[in-house]
Chains A and B, each alone.
Chain A
Amino acid sequence: MDGSDPPIADTVSSISESIPCRESQIKLLLSLFGEKRCMTVPAIFAYGHTATGKSAVINSILKTCKLPHVLVNCVECYSSRFLYEAVLNGLYTNNGRQKPETPVKCENMNDFVRLFRHTCMDLHLQNETVYIVIDKAERLREMDANILPAFLGLQELADGNMCVILLSEIVWEKFRCGTGFQEPFIVQFPDYNKDELLRILVRSAPEGYSAEFYQMYLSLVLSVFHIVCRNLSELQHLAAINFRKYIEPIKNGEATESDSRKLWKNFEPHLKKALQTVYLREVSSTQWERMLEESDAGKMMTQQGLSSRTHVELPYYSKYLLIAAYLASYNPAKSDKKFFSKHSDKHKKSKVIKKQERTNNHMLGPKPFPLDRLMAVFYAIVEGKVAPTANIFMQITSLVSVHLLSQVAGDDQIDVPKYKCLVSLDFIKSVARTVNFDVVRYLYDFV
């Protein structure tokens, strides 16, 4: 050890104080990193679910031990050139140096390796391990094919002491490609169990309330959300914005802190509602907080929720075109005669087909249909005489451009394009209601 550095045990305890429940990972990584001058494994691949402390652990290790390192995120550095330049420029700034007067320019891997060697020499880092941390490493797969193998073999290519750390949520098997490459050392970050979640969440207890009280509250939140969601940051957010509602009876003087049953009774329906709204981002968190103030949460929601705004104003014929497209998409073509022909005997035929034999079209999704069929259904259901003007055909293409329909085949043909209808049953029902058309009566699945 370098004399001035604290021994490993101290470092572990100081880091795990800020990031609890990750002792074994911290220990493993610290022992892999070893002393500054020692060689390290060429590459480490750390994976685990969202919010399991991958970047937090690695960042705080690198910071506490004052190791020369650079952090890049592959979402920001979406092209290879940005990635190289971010690493090279980051090396200067991250290690307490002035930025070079002109930012380093680097276009390809060849220059990168050369410049990287120079930079290390410039910063007198030859005798220390330099760490390159690449967050969201799954994006590397979409870049040039040589980037991932080159980063994994950087120690050999640049002939120095460096370690590339890849962070991802995807398992390593999905990164392998081509003729293979040097396998990294794989470190798994396991998920937090319920107790660990409680231990972490309770650290953000608001002032003025005892830890036991807040823990009680958290276990209530977890009892509703834990089945659905294990994402720590999401749970943290939900716990933070709903706390005010929980303590409301105490503030009003209706209950005391020890009156847990009463608090729960008051709180439970509210949480269930939160699952359907805030968790799905139907309403934003600020909206949700405003609702809490106005107390009557449910009523506001039904009016304001994102997905409840399915009503769209459409022109009259567009509505009928959309209904016709829906019917053409979800009804088999052979049933058209039954529904839309004036001379068919409805009752006789529907008894013949047994219900079990059918496959449910609302389960399989929309089927494509040709333009001719759409027009035929349209003329069968629309009231009054409609001339096939340019306007009607324009409306079909504009329905495609607003993504209510989609064109599936015949992109290049002007006479036989095929379409699919992309709207839900609820949506089409509400559209049909506005023109007083009973759409369910014409749907094959519901007859």
Chain B
Amino acid sequence: MTKNKRRSKAASSHDASTPESTALKDSVGCVSQGDMSPVSLCQAVLRKQLTEGVSTYRNSEKGTHLGEGLHQEERQLLDLLRRTATSGESNSVLVIGPRGSGKSKLIKHVIAELLLDDHIRENLLQVHLNGLLQTDDRIALTEITRQLKLENTLGDKVFGSFSETLQFLLEALKSGDQSSKPILFLLDEFDLFAHHKNQTLLYNLFDVAQSAQAPICVVGITCRLDVIELLEKRVKSRFSHRQIHLFNSQTFEDFIVIFKKLLCLDVNFPDQKFADSWNLQVEQLARDPTITDILRQQFEFTKDVRALQQLLMYPVCQLSEMSPSLSVSDFVESRKLITMDSKSAMLHGVSILELCLIIAMKHLTEIYEGEPFNFEMVYSEYSKFAQRKSSMQVFEKAVVLKAFEHLIHLELVRTVDGAGSRVQKEYRLMQMLIHPTQILDALQKYPQCPTDVRQWAASSLAT
């Protein structure tokens, strides 16, 4: 199976370079074995598009306005990598941009473009590192030797201690010159590498890039704008200070184009007739006033493409033989699912006694202007209310304390000085983590809320 082969290749050399289109074909070819209807096939393809994202750069050559801004950055990066790959130049660059702005996508795309050249494909070595995985330099070094398949590796095993591996690696790099094979280092979550002890790895990589040794190109990917400030002085001075910024600078029109792109089927879809009618339907959807309204809200909330992908996931998942087209109501439902206030939802499920305690805490916070409170104060506030109103049963202190502890467990209230303070539970100072409007909101929706409790919540200073 093609996919199988691809994966084994990826496992050995961490090759992430397979071009988008073949990957898409793979998945389609793979799933189409089981005689699938066009709808489920379409769902499979869309699911893949929504989890992996679609490249927004490819169209830039065709002259659509989307990705026009990125074209510049793409060319810059491609130039740089090509110079390393062909003429033995050593470079370093940082790609900076917020989460979901397509940093990894850009690099993947650039590498794919780079590897179209046969000469480069045979020569260029790639090392992919991720700050989340290689949490210290020792792990990073073994990973580098593993990916470069150096002499001290046997299959998956890497031999030697940290210092031996480092020395070995540096010697291997030093012995090379301009004619040796160029290496491309990709450091994802670059800011996490800056937290390693002494920044040894970064120092050595940048040092090799600076001096006339084997040609390497260090590409850091990060979402921190101030990442340069994290570097030590000696590391900073060896870095070339070449930065590529990616911002979500699309307008609302671009946003709609992305929306269409994420939902459209491309030319590789086997049933072209279905694909055409599907794309027509997506075009119509994009003009629907409800949809544009939802997209506008989403756009004003975040321009992150990943968030958009998540918004579209639910409607796509609802596709089936029975409902072969995307319905507007599913988009509304999806938006509702995503924007739900989770704290109000949690408040909906607490018991009436716990609700009373929350109201008592709200009153205490209002009266004492945000000063912390303890259980005794809450209890006396509660019992003042419960004794005055006959409808409410007055519960024992221990029962109330159990309810109070449940609220702590749900992290709706929090101890001011951590859990380790050496006072009795009743006297531990607490702070409420719910906003008063959230409480009033939740009270509106609370099922069968006693009227006097509601009134008590509204009248804050009346004791």
- Chain A neighbourhood of B156, CB < 8 A: 114
> How distant is A135 from chain B, measured CB to nearest CB, in Å?
16
Chain B neighbourhood of A114, CB < 8 A: 11, 156
Q: Are A2 and B34 in contact (CB under 8 A)?
A: yes
* Residues 32-65 of chain A, each 1 if its beta carbon lies under 8 Å from chain B, else 0: 1011011111100001110010000000000000
- Shortest beta-carbon distance from A66 to chain B in Å: 16
Flag if A365 contacts B426 (CB, 8 Å).
Answer: yes
Q: At the interface with chain B, which of A98-106, A180-188, A286-294, A339-347?
A: A180-188
Query: What is the predominant secondary structure among interface residues of chain B facing chain A?
Result: helix
Among the stretches B87-95, B129-137, B239-247, the one at the interface with A is B129-137
The answer to whether B398 touches A307, judged by C-beta atoms less than 8 angstroms apart, is yes
Q: Which residue of the partner chain B has the closest CB to A33?
A: B317
Residues of B within 8 A of A366 (CB): 423, 427
State whether A180 and B99 are in contact (beta carbons under 8 Å apart), knowing that A38-B47, A126-B7, A173-B343 are contacts in the complex: yes
- Assess whether B47 is in contact with A42, with CB atoms less than 8 Å apart: no
Q: Report how far A9 CA is from B320 CA in the complex, Å.
A: 11
Tell whether, in the assembled complex, residue A276 and residue B399 are in contact, meaning their CB atoms are under 8 Å apart: yes
Contact, CB under 8 Å: A155 / B317: no
Given the known interface contacts A8-B320, A118-B11, the answer about A186 and B192 at a Cβ–Cβ threshold of 8 Å is: no
Question: Per-residue CB proximity of B401-421 to A under 8 Å, as 1/0?
Answer: 011000001110000000000
Contact A144–B135 (Cβ < 8 Å): yes
Question: A199-229 toward B: CB 8 Å interface, digit per residue (1/0)?
Answer: 0000000000000000000000000001111
A193 vs B320: C-alpha distance when bound (angstroms): 32
Tell me how far the C-beta of B243 lies from the nearest C-beta in chain A, rounded to whole angstroms. Answer: 17
Note all chain A residues with C-beta closer than 8 A to B424: 365, 422, 424
Are the C-beta atoms of A174 and B411 separated by less than 8 Å?
A: yes
Are B338's CB and A230's CB within 8 A? Answer: no
Q: When chains A and B are docked, how far (Å) is the Cα of A41 from the Cα of B11? A: 22
* B348→A191 contact, CB < 8 A: yes
Q: Which of A146-154, A371-379, A438-446 contacts B (4 or more CB under 8 A)?
A: A146-154
Residue in contact with B310 in the complex, picked from A37, A41, A113, A118, CB distance below 8 Å: A41
Q: How far is the CB of B389 from chain A (nearest CB, A)?
A: 13
Determine whether A179 belongs to the interface, using a CB cutoff of 8 Å to chain B.
yes
Query: Which residues on A sit within 8 Å (CB–CB) of B376?
Result: 362-365
Q: A121-B7, A188-B345, A422-B423 are in contact. Are A280 and B132 (CB under 8 A)?
A: no
Chain B 36-65 near chain A by CB (<8 Å), digits 1 or 0: 000010011001101110000000000000
Pairwise interchain contact A39-B130, C-beta atoms closer than 8 A = no
B-contacting residues, A126-164, CB 8 Å: 126-127, 144, 146, 149-150, 153, 155-157, 159-160
Residues from chain B with Cβ under 8 Å of A185 in the complex: 310, 313
Identity of the chain A residue whose Cβ is nearest the Cβ of B403 in the assembled complex: A228
B387 contacts across to A, CB distance below 8 A:
none
Interface residue B306 (Cβ < 8 Å from any Cβ of A)? yes
Interchain CB contact under 8 A, B342 and A171: yes
A181 CB to closest chain B CB, in angstroms?
A: 8
Asked, given contacts A40-B51, A121-B7, whether A280 binds B402 with beta carbons under 8 Å apart, the answer is: yes
Contact of B411 among A2, A48, A170 (CB under 8 A): A170
Complex Cα spacing A240 to B182, Å: 72
CB-CB nearest in chain A for B10? A159
When the two chains form the complex, which single residue of A127, A170, A191, A280 contacts B30, counting CB atoms closer than 8 Å?
A: A127
Kindly state the separation between the CA atoms of A389 and B99 in the bound complex, as whole angstroms: 68
How far does the alpha carbon of A317 sit from the alpha carbon of B63 in the complex, in Å? 92
Interface-forming stretch among B160-168, B349-357, B455-463?
B349-357
A420 at the interface (CB under 8 A from B): yes
- Say yes or no: is A190 at the interface (Cβ < 8 Å to chain B): yes
Q: Are A364 and B427 neighbours in the complex by a CB distance under 8 Å?
A: yes
Interface centre among A156, A169, A171 (most CB of B within 10 A): A171
- The reply to whether B51 and A363 form a contact with Cβ atoms under 8 Å apart is no
Quick check: is B284 within 8 A (CB to CB) of the other chain? no
Nearest B-chain residue to A192, judged by Cβ: B349
Q: Does B4 contact A (CB under 8 A)?
A: yes
Residues of A near B7 (CB, < 8 A) are 117, 121, 126, 159-160
Residue B377, interface by CB 8 Å:
yes
Task: Tell me which residues across on chain B come within 8 A of A406, comparing CB atoms.
Answer: 422-423
Q: Whose C-beta in chain B lies nearest to the C-beta of A112? A: B133
Contacts of B348 in A (CB 8 A): 190-191
A79 interface residue per 8 A CB criterion: no
Interfacial chain A residues near B398, Cβ < 8 Å: 276, 280, 282, 307
Give the distance in Å from the alpha carbon of A157 to the alpha carbon of B143 in the complex.
14
Cα A35 to Cα B337 with chains together (Å)? 22
Residues of B within 8 A of A280 (CB): 398-399, 402
Determine which of A127, A160, A227 lies in contact with B353 in the assembled complex, contact meaning CB atoms within 8 Å: A227
Chain B 366-395 interface residues, beta-carbon cutoff 8 Å to A: 374, 376-377, 380, 393, 395
Find out whether the CB atom of B345 lies under 8 angstroms from the CB atom of A190. Answer: yes
Query: Given A37-B44, A109-B133, A47 and B349 touching (CB < 8 A)?
Result: no
Known: A170-B410, A365-B376. A188 touches B399 (CB 8 A): no
A34-B317, A39-B51, A157-B133 given as contacts; is B337 within 8 A of A186 (CB)? Answer: yes
Would you list 15 pairs from A and B whose C-beta atoms are within 8 A, ordered by A residue? A34-B47, A37-B44, A38-B44, A39-B50, A39-B52, A40-B51, A47-B346, A110-B134, A121-B11, A126-B4, A171-B411, A182-B306, A228-B351, A364-B376, A365-B423
Interface of B toward A, CB cutoff 8 Å: 3-4, 7-8, 10-11, 16, 27, 30-31, 34, 40, 43-44, 47-48, 50-52, 99, 104, 130-135, 139, 143, 156, 191-192, 223-224, 306-307, 310, 313-314, 317-318, 320, 337-338, 340, 342-343, 345-346, 348-353, 374, 376-377, 380, 393, 395-396, 398-399, 402-403, 409-411, 422-424, 426-427, 447-448
**Interface pairs A-B: 3 shortest CB-CB:** A365-B427, A191-B349, A171-B342
Known: A32-B313, A188-B345. 13 other contacts (CB 8 A): A38-B43, A110-B139, A117-B11, A121-B7, A183-B306, A194-B448, A226-B351, A228-B395, A228-B399, A279-B402, A365-B424, A422-B423, A422-B424
